[in-house]
Structure 1
Amino acid sequence: MDRNRCPRCGWPLAELPATATQPVTRQLDYVRCVCGSWLARLDGEIVGATRARPTR
């Protein structure tokens, strides 16, 4: 899994608007992807998401 992209839609995290980030602590934050998933990042790497990537 690419830790710099949404696991559901593949959108690059660097391209999300700054207002999409909800900082919780210095190491953990939550980011809302353009696809609607909430992504949990620990030290800048995705460690969880609210929805799995769709199977094709």
Structure 2
Amino acid sequence: MNSEACPRCGWPLAELPGAATRPATHRLEYVRCVCGSWLARLDGEVVGATQARLTR
């Protein structure tokens, strides 16, 4: 997955509002994209999304 943009809509992650962070050995963040998808980032890399990628 691209760690710079939402895998569903391509929105730049740097432009999203703050993330909810859970302290652990690794940094795990849950970020809501403007398209409505929840993104899971582990150490800054997108490792999951709640909705499938849009096809164009």
TM bin, normalised by shorter chain, reads 0.7 to 0.9
| Correspondence for 2:42 | 42
Q: Which has the higher helix share?
A: 1
Name the Cα RMSD after superposition: 1.2
With normalisation by structure 2, the TM-score equals: 0.85
Give the Å deviation of 1:30. 0.3
Identity %: 70
Deviating above 4 A after TM superposition, structure 1's stretches of 4 or more consecutive aligned residues are: none
Where 2:14 maps in the other structure, the secondary structure is helix
Give the partner amino acid of 2:20.
Q
Per-residue CA deviations over 1:30-54 (Å, capped at 9, x if unaligned) read 0000100000000000000000112
* Partner Cα distance (1:25, 1:11) in 2: 26
List gaps (5 residues or longer) in structure 1. Answer: none
Q: What does residue range 6-45 of structure 1 map to in structure 2 within 5 Å?
A: 6-18=6-18, 21-26=19-24, 27-45=27-45
With normalisation by structure 1, the TM-score equals: 0.85
